[in-house]
Structure 1
Amino acid sequence: MPVTVVVPSVLAAASGGRTQFQLSDAEAASVREALDAVGRDYPVLGRRLRDERGELRRHVNVYVGGEDVRRGRGLSTPVAAGQEILVIQSIAGG
């Protein structure tokens, strides 16, 4: 059963118009591996999500099973087959 990575439509320009990515559970055993896989195909999206050290950018929030990965194991958060990784980008306004 694949792992699904969902990104907001505001990032679709960086991912060829895509907002969902299906990954095999073998290439997405953790959040880091899933973002690596998406970033290989869409490097601009990868740079929008993570900084030069590979860490999540401050304005990017990632959830697995409804839980914020920053409150747990971060990018090392395990992902089970069939789970969804939801990426939400904070948008500031004024």
Structure 2
Amino acid sequence: MGYEEKIKQALEAGNVIIGTKQVMKNIKNGKVEYVLYAQNCPAEIKTDLLRNAKIANVQVEEFNGTGKQLGIFMAKAFPVAVVGVKKSS
């Protein structure tokens, strides 16, 4: 399953977290199973994200586009650098 399907299902279920701070917090708390980040995500954020995701055994993928395009994909009127999918209860 590609990231389009994963995000679409998560949006329908209301299991999406948007924003670097919220996604990082939820990774550290073990509440995230999947992360998608924009190609132009700042290097420092990307490094932190990948390190924390590896420790927490969270799958991470790079979105094939910019933060602005990821924002459009998420139906938001603003750029989005990082999106997380919450673990199913």
TM range (shorter): 0.3 to 0.5
More helix by share: 2
TM-score normalised to the size of structure 1? Answer: 0.31
- Report the structure number with the largest CA radius of gyration: 1
